[in-house]
Amino acid sequence: MIKLFLLFFTTVMINIYGSEYNYPFKNPYKATILGSSMLMTDGVPETVPTKKYKIKIPPFETPPSNLWYEQGYEFAVSAQKKKAPLIFILSGTGAKYDSTRTKLFQRILYGAGYHVITVSSAFSTNFITTVSSSKMPGMLLQDSLDVYRALENMYKTVQNDIEVSDFYLMGYSMGASHSAVVSYIDESVKTFNFKRVFMVNPAVNLSVSANILDDMLNKNIGDNKENIGILVDRVIYKALKKSNGSSVSLNEETLYKLFEKEHLSNKDMQALIGLAFRLISVDINYVTDLLNNTKVYVKEPVGKFTNMFPYFQIVNFASFNDYLTKLAFPYYRNIIGTSMTMEKLLATSDLEQFKFYLKNSKKIAVVTNVDDFILTENNRKFLKDTFGNRFLMYPKGGHCGNMFYSENVKVMLKFLEEGTLNENK
C-alpha cells in the first residue's frame, strides 16, 4: 500500500514538472537532519541587507531577573531599495527570527524581490516573555492573535523606511500553522489584507505532532530519563570538542549539524530528532512556569545570578505532554472553570476549527510530504480535503527536509507570484 501511495505521488510530481522529483534523500529522518538547513537551489544571494530590531510591544512587562536580557521582542528586516511586496516569515516551533532555516527563506525571498521581515516562533523564549498575552502558548487562536499584534508592531516600526505594494505571509512547521490563523484574523482586522499565504509542512494538531516527536525520543532510548541525560552528555561532549571549548547553544540546528556527517541508524536519527524537540519542550516548561509563577518547577524567586542547575534538574527533560498536563491545562482550567477539559484544550490546537475559512480562502496554499512523520493519515486527509488544488504533497522530504530544494522553491515563488501551485495551470 505504501509503495502504491509513493508511486501515485511520484506520478503527480511528473505531471507537474515534466520529470521525476529528484530530491536526493529518500529516508525521511535523513532528509530532516541533512536537508532542513541545506540550500539546494541556485541563484540565491549569499548575503542580504539586514537590520535587527528590539521593540517593546504593549502591554510590555518587565521580565524576571534571570531573563534580564529579554528587554524587547527581536526581529529583522531585509528591505529592498524600491517599492516592493513585503512578506513575513513565521519561524518553526521554538525557532528565533535569526535561525538558519528562517534566514535561508529570508535570502530566497529577498532575492525574489520581496521586503522580508523574519519573525520568531510563538514558542520561543523571547516571544513568550515579551509578546505572549497568556505566557502559556498552545491555543492556536490566542497565539496567533499575539503573533498578529507582533506583526502590526513590527510593521509600524519600519513602515517609514520601506515602501510596500502588497503584503504576503509564509511559515514553516508550526509557523505554517500559525500563518493560517493569522490570515483568518486579518480577514476581520484588515491591517495587511494579505495577498497570498504559503504554508510549508504545517502541524495540523499541535498535541498530536508533539506526541509523535516525544515518542520518537522515548521509544528509542527507553522511558528512563537518565538515558536522555546520557544522550545529552554525548551531544555536549561532541559540541565542545568541535568548538574547541567555546560556548555552544544546543538547539535543533546545532544538533543536526553535529551529526550530519555520521552514519546513523533510523533509531539514532529518530532519537536525535526527538531530542531536538525535547530541548524546546524543556524551555517551554521552565519559562512558562517561571513567568506565571505556577511553582511547578521554580518554587523560589530566581535572581539575575542564581545558579540555574538545580532548576534544570527539577525540570528533568520535561516533555511537551508534561507541559500540557502540569502547566497549560491547570492554567486554563483555573481561568475558564471546570468546563475546560483536556479534550477541549487539545481541540484549541487543531487547524480543524478553522476548516471553513481555510477551505474557502483561495489565497492560502499548503505543501507537505508523504513521509512527514509529524502528520497522521487523518492529518493528511484533512489537508487534502480542505485545500484541494491548493494542496501539494511531495513524495519525500521528511519534516521540512526539502524546503530549500530547487523544485520546492520554484513552487513557493510561483504561488506567491501567480496564486497557483501547478505549473501547467
Q: What is the pLDDT of residues 260-306, one digit of tens each?
A: 777 888 998 998 899 899 989 999 999 999 999 999 988 766 655 55
Does the pLDDT of residue 170 top 50, yes or no?
yes
CATH topology for 21-204+351-418? Rossmann fold (3.40.50)
CA distance linking residue 345 with residue 356, whole number of Å: 20
298: which residues sit within 8 A by CB, 6+ positions away? Answer: 286, 289, 290, 311, 314
Collapsed DSSP state (helix, strand, coil) of residue 323: helix
Question: Of the given ranges (28-32, 136-140, 420-424), which has the lowest mean pLDDT?
Answer: 420-424
Does the pLDDT of residue 63 top 80, yes or no?
yes
Does the pLDDT of residue 245 top 70, yes or no?
no
Contact 256, 34 (CB under 8 A): yes
Question: Of the given ranges (137-141, 234-238, 261-265), which has the lowest mean pLDDT?
Answer: 234-238
Question: Of the given ranges (65-69, 77-81, 297-301), which has the lowest mean pLDDT?
Answer: 297-301
What spatial distance separates the first Cα and last Cα of the chain, rounded to whole Å?
30
CA distance linking residue 243 with residue 248, whole number of Å: 7
Does the pLDDT of residue 14 top 60, yes or no?
no
Average pLDDT estimate for 207-213: 97
Does the pLDDT of residue 46 top 70, yes or no?
yes
Question: Of the given ranges (233-242, 260-269, 294-303, 352-361), which has the lowest mean pLDDT?
Answer: 233-242
* pLDDT at residue 228, as a whole number: 74
Mean pLDDT of the chain: 89
Segments making up each domain of the chain, as ranges: 21-204+351-418, 208-345
